[in-house]
Amino acid sequence: MKMTARFLARLTRHPADNRVHWLAWLLLGLLLAILPWLVSAGFGNTWLRILNFALLYVMLALGLNIVVGFAGLLDMGYIAFYAVGAYLWALLASPQFGLHWPLWAILPLGAGVAGLFGVLLGAPTLKLRGDYLAIVTLGFGEIIRIFLNNLNAPINITNGPQGISAIDPVHIGSLSLARPIDLGFVQVPSLVSYYYLFLIAALAIIGIAIRLERSRVGRAWAAIREDEVAAKACGINTRNVKLLAFAMGATFGGVAGGLFAGFQQFVSPESFGLLESVMVLCMVVLGGMGHIPGVIFGALLLTILPEFFRHIAGPVQQSLFGTVLIDPENLRMLLFGLSLVLVMRYRPSGLWPSPQRRREIEDVQRADAPADVPVSPM
Amino acid sequence: MDIFLQQIINGLVLGSIYALVALGYTMVYGILGLINFAHGEVVMIGALVSYSVMMVLVPSGLPPVLLALISVLVAAPVCMALAWAIERYAYRPLRHAPKLTPLISAIGVSILLQNLAMMIWGRGYHAFPDILPAIHFDIGGAQITLLQTVTIGLAAATMGILAWMIQRTSLGQAMRATAENPAIAELMGIPVNRIITLTFIIGAALAALAGLMVGANYSVAHYYMGFMLGLKAFTAAVLGGIGNITGAMLGGLLLGLIESLGAGYIEDLTGGILGSHYQDIFAFLVLIGVLVFRPGGLMGERVSERA
Amino acid sequence: MNSVLLRADNISKSFGGVQALKDVSLTLNKGEVYGLIGPNGAGKTTFFNCLTGLYVPDSGQFTFGDTPLISHAPDKTVRQGIARTFQNIRLFANMTALENVMVGRHARLRSNIVSDILRTPFNRREEQATEDMALQLLHYVGISARAHDLAKHLSYGDQRRLEIARALATNPRLLCLDEPAAGMNANETAGLRQLIEAIRADGISILLIEHDVQLVMGLCDRIAVLDYGELICEDVPAIVQQHPRVIEAYLGSGAHA
């Protein structure tokens, strides 16, 4: 019996040419390794900084993808966990309280505390679905921001709207990533060392996300997303499994937040507004909900493209009209809003959806087509 | 001065505005099951258009009341046209898509409108001119200004007309039928698409009025005002039971009172630990509390099972 | 031989003013195929939902084996060995048939999130065993060729089979089937009958809600009849068929006149 099953499994698995894969992965690895040097040589440090932020957003988007994409729980206050991770780092490694904890202590603690917040904020929302859940999580996100903004009195904890500055940079042992590192044959600039740190963290998170997707708990998340009642009837404790999704997603956010604080050496409530939550959600949705490569693509696209735009919009207008007609920042957001509307209309399953997800949405549309309400002229 | 009574009056003014905006959310949700995330921005556009019209007309020396009237007569059609366009181009094509799709589209519209407004009116705060003379009446130790009286009265009258329209006219009947079941309504010969468009347009007219009221009462308007206001009005709609017209009015007033009393007393209640700048938290706490403990709202049915 | 597997004592449940179940008591023996029949709205599915923990009964108690079912949490009921299917098929539509069955195994697996992330040797073995087992079950219900198709792309009859396979994956002692033959043609029904016989032969007891009288009479060892939420008789098919109240319930009181 077991033999037949094994045979069936082998028969039905897709064959892949392993050699080609190896080569592609090797090239990709090489590219990722030399990328910061290429970017800083070709485009300057501004773009290297943007690249580092792109990696932070990859971590955030993958964290939110666990909640929204895997488990189907629409969380619009996700940035709160990023804030928790960032502020925890800021409080434990800055002159604010005179504490200077090391990386290996704060980062896991930040992940853990963020995860705990995930459970605390997730627990009251377990019975809610769809857009109700979205609004409640949005409210939670705002509450956390309001607290960060106001916890400077009567006891000064967060330093209010001014934020916390002079945060310790990331240290690995006695090595500070804020200064160039001399390897003897080459000087590694600070931004490049941060790039490698963020890359390692991002790769770890990608690995975890991939493993979770194809595991017992990943299947349980998908089952809840598909049909909660049937999931219960399969013996899934839906409450615990949902909380696990919130916690896991929040953990990723906490890690990204801690790294952000160490990198920026400054945090303030302004970095954790609703627009940031929306931005991360858009990375997930535009990229392709639930599809890890799509989500990574979405995060990279939405970090890099707007920056690209910001940098060229001014000069282009200058050369075309002789003056800057529209503030590039303004124009950037204008186009962002517009592209959300357009992508939802023409590619509702995202720019790079999993093949399965695309089929699913097309099915929905096809099934609905005959019932469509004809457009009556106004 | 009686602080309690004063806060009640302030709460009623705030609540009337919330109620007007909440009606826009609740009517659209009732019919489409969609959170019209961009509705707050329509209020913002209404306020800013009113502001601009008034600023243009101030040199003419017309009496301020007339200025306000003209400005709302301009702002309302602008908002209605805007709402029509939003519905037609951002929501209608997505009517059968999964729930998340129109929500993201709505967020896109919201960002778009905010930035358009920022382009036109700039980032600054705009001070509204005084519409009514600064007369006030004393009631039991508290003061109510003429403007506040008119705001509450006008909101009440508008809502009364709306309620009458929905309950008594054939248009209202068609709206209720569409909310109940669009497919069946269609079969009964109701032009569903037109009803949906009209719902958006009516909501926008109320939003324009609310925009003027916000500007007049708090004498500021700026490109970012729509977001928080919209969120709170949505909370009010949920509090009353989303999809329920009476609920939206009640929820609006209640939320206005809760916020106003909360802001007035939070320092005493918490022994000075939390100050009045936590005012915004009340709306969210109410929202979360209602959805968790009574998801149908005060007047609604149970809706948490709705996917 | 005739040891009791499931005992229901005075189960009552009402919705608003409607009494869906009124003091229903019945016993199901080990190894039995036990039919639960009755006109539409008699309370059969409500009984299922109470048993499997989706509803909490207003009063009464279930005893399964030697232990009372107290918690009324669906996942705990599954752990205790009661699995079910749904009247209107509820599969995970956008997951493959294989994944559907693997989800059914959830409660019997011991991997947790940490071992999932670390991919421990234990975890790998368990995943492989789960996949093997799921394929076996698909083979058992006769749809192994469709293992990698999305559940929603399966034919109606195959979806019913897949739902049974998913329920079997929970390793139940009692399998509750809610109208498994609904919407099936004669051929499919015959196949279903064979499948149920095979499951019984493997030592799993079956509680069956079904409208197809022939199927019920031919398959069940004993039958309980519900009408307006009340148990009107519980016996072997031959006697149930002759029971005056059953005839009345099915044909209306006019049948006597």
pLDDT tens digit sequence for B53-95: 999 998 888 888 888 899 999 999 999 999 999 999 999 999 8
Sheet order of strands, C222-227 included: C82-84, C174-178, C205-209, C33-37, C222-227, C230-235
The reply to whether residue A235 touches residue C109, judged by beta carbons under 8 angstroms, is no
Per-domain residue ranges of chain C:
1-81+172-257, 90-171
Alpha-carbon gap, residue A175 to A193, rounded angstroms: 11
| Run of H or E including C130 | helix C121-141
- Chain A residues whose beta carbon lies within 8 Å of the beta carbon of residue C84: 233
What does pLDDT average to over chain C?
A: 91
Average pLDDT over residues C7-25: 91
Q: Say if residues B291 and A139 touch (Cβ distance below 8 Å).
A: no
| Cα atoms in the 13 Å half-sphere on the side-chain side of C71 | 10
Q: Say if residues A100 and A265 touch (Cβ distance below 8 Å).
A: no
pLDDT band for position A349 (50/70/90)? confident
Q: Which pairing describes strands C82-84 and A164-165: parallel, antiparallel, or unpaired? A: unpaired
ipTM rounded to 2 decimals: 0.92
> Which of A5, A226, A231 is closest, CB to CB, to C136?
A5
The reply to whether residue A234 touches residue C166, judged by beta carbons under 8 angstroms, is yes
The reply to whether residue A231 touches residue C109, judged by beta carbons under 8 angstroms, is no
Q: Say if residues A172 and A105 touch (Cβ distance below 8 Å).
A: no
Query: Per-residue pLDDT tens for C23-44?
Result: 999 999 999 999 999 888 889 9
Sheet order of strands, C4-15 included: C18-29, C4-15, C59-64, C67-69
Q: Say if residues B260 and B10 touch (Cβ distance below 8 Å).
A: yes
DSSP code per residue over chain B = --HHHHHHHHHHHHHHHHHHHHHHHHHHHHHH----TTHHHHHHHHHHHHHHHHHHHGGGT--HHHHHHHHHHHHHHHHHHHHHHIIIIIIGGGTTS-THHHHHHHHHHHHHHHHHHHHHH-SS-EEPPP-S---EEEETTEEEEHHHHHHHHHHHHHHHHHHHHHHHSHHHHHHHHHHH-HHHHHHTT--HHHHHHHHHHHHHHHHHHHHHHHHHHH-EE-TTHHHHHHHHHHHHHHHH-TT-HHHHHHHHHHHHHHHHHHHHHHHHHTTTSS-GGGHHHHHHHHHHHHHHH-TTTTTS---TT--
Q: Is the pLDDT of residue A211 over 70?
A: yes
The reply to whether residue A285 touches residue B104, judged by beta carbons under 8 angstroms, is yes
Q: Is the pLDDT of residue C127 over 50?
A: yes
DSSP code per residue over B185-236 = HHHTT--HHHHHHHHHHHHHHHHHHHHHHHHHHH-EE-TTHHHHHHHHHHHH
Alpha-carbon gap, residue B278 to B275, rounded angstroms: 6
Which chain C residue has the Cα nearest residue A14? C148
CATH numbers and ranges of domains, chain B: 3-293 (1.10.3470)
The reported pLDDT for the residue numbered C252 is 65
Neighbouring C-beta atoms of residue C73, cutoff 10 Å: 18
| Residues found in chain C | 257
pLDDT band for position A12 (50/70/90)? very low
Which chain B residue has the Cα nearest residue A136? B288
Give chains near A: 3+ CB pairs under 8 A: B, C
Q: Poorest-confidence range of A209-218, A227-236, C86-95, C206-215?
A: C206-215
- Chain B residues whose beta carbon lies within 8 Å of the beta carbon of residue A134: 35, 103
Looking at chain A from residue 137 to 166, which residues have their Cβ under 8 Å from any Cβ of chain B?
Answer: 138-140, 142-143, 146, 149-150, 153-154
- Chain A residues whose beta carbon lies within 8 Å of the beta carbon of residue B31: none
User: Which of C75, C99, C115 should one mutate to test binding to chain A, selecting the residue with the greatest count of A CBs within 10 A?
Assistant: C75
The reply to whether residue B194 touches residue A326, judged by beta carbons under 8 angstroms, is no
> Which of C103, C116, C169 is closest, CB to CB, to A223?
C103
Q: Poorest-confidence range of A50-59, A311-320, B292-301, C140-149?
A: B292-301
The reply to whether residue B111 touches residue A340, judged by beta carbons under 8 angstroms, is yes
Residue, of A237 and A356, whose pLDDT is higher: A237
Q: Say if residues B208 and B214 touch (Cβ distance below 8 Å).
A: no
Which chain A residue has the Cα nearest residue C115? A215
> Which of B90, B197, B227 is closest, CB to CB, to A378?
B197
Q: Is the pLDDT of residue A374 over 60?
A: no
Neighbouring C-beta atoms of residue A30, cutoff 10 Å: 10
Q: Say if residues A191 and A177 touch (Cβ distance below 8 Å).
A: no
Closest CA to C78 of C202, C178, C175, C197: C175
Beta partners for C84? C176
On the 0-12 / 13-18 / 19+ scale of CB atoms within 10 A, A20 is exposed
CB pairs A-C closer than 8 Å:
123
Give chains near C: 3+ CB pairs under 8 A: A
Closest CA to C96 of C162, C147, C130: C147
CB pairs A-B closer than 8 Å:
157
User: Which of A126, A135, A146 should one mutate to test binding to chain B, selecting the residue with the greatest count of B CBs within 10 A?
Assistant: A135
Looking at chain A from residue 239 to 278, which residues have their Cβ under 8 Å from any Cβ of chain C?
Answer: 244, 248
Any residues with CB less than 8 A from the CB of A363 and at least 6 apart, and which?
C152
- Residue bearing tokens 């799921």: C134
Closest CA to B262 of B32, B27, B8: B8
How would you write the pLDDT of chain B (307 residues) with one tens digit per residue?
678 899 999 999 999 999 999 999 999 998 888 889 899 999 999 999 999 999 999 888 888 888 889 999 999 999 999 999 999 999 999 988 877 888 889 989 999 999 999 999 988 899 888 888 888 888 888 889 999 999 999 999 999 999 999 999 999 999 999 988 888 999 999 999 999 999 999 999 999 999 999 999 988 889 989 988 998 999 899 888 888 889 999 999 999 999 998 888 877 777 767 777 787 888 888 888 887 787 777 776 543 333 2
The nearest CA of chain B is from the CA of A110 a distance in Å of 25
CATH of the structural domain C1-81+172-257, one choice from 3.40.50.300, 3.40.630.30, 3.40.220.10, 3.10.520.10 = 3.40.50.300
Which chain B residue has the Cα nearest residue A129? B307
Contact present, C and B (at least 3 Cβ pairs less than 8 Å): no
Alpha-carbon gap, residue C73 to C59, rounded angstroms: 16
Per-domain residue ranges of chain A:
43-272
- Chain A residues whose beta carbon lies within 8 Å of the beta carbon of residue B295: 127-128, 132
The reply to whether residue C135 touches residue A5, judged by beta carbons under 8 angstroms, is yes
- Chain C residues whose beta carbon lies within 8 Å of the beta carbon of residue A6: 132
pLDDT band for position A328 (50/70/90)? confident
- Chain C residues whose beta carbon lies within 8 Å of the beta carbon of residue A357: 94
> Which of A132, A330, A345 is closest, CB to CB, to B119?
A330
Q: Is the pLDDT of residue A363 over 90?
A: no
The nearest CA of chain A is from the CA of C125 a distance in Å of 12
- Chain A residues whose beta carbon lies within 8 Å of the beta carbon of residue C78: 233-235
The nearest CA of chain B is from the CA of A214 a distance in Å of 24
Contact present, A and B (at least 3 Cβ pairs less than 8 Å): yes
Looking at chain A from residue 253 to 312, which residues have their Cβ under 8 Å from any Cβ of chain B?
Answer: 274-275, 278, 281-282, 285, 289
The reply to whether residue B108 touches residue A338, judged by beta carbons under 8 angstroms, is yes
On the 0-12 / 13-18 / 19+ scale of CB atoms within 10 A, A181 is middle
DSSP code per residue over C78-123 = HHHTEEE--SS----TTSBHHHHHHHHTGGG----HHHHHHT-HHH
> Which of B101, B283, B287 is closest, CB to CB, to A348?
B101
A366 touches chain C (CB under 8 A): no
CATH of the structural domain C90-171, one choice from 3.30.2000.10, 3.30.450.20, 3.40.50.300, 3.30.70.1230 = 3.40.50.300
The nearest CA of chain C is from the CA of A273 a distance in Å of 31
Q: Is the pLDDT of residue A362 over 60?
A: no
Any residues with CB less than 8 A from the CB of B31 and at least 6 apart, and which?
B175, B178, B179, B182, B195, B196, B199
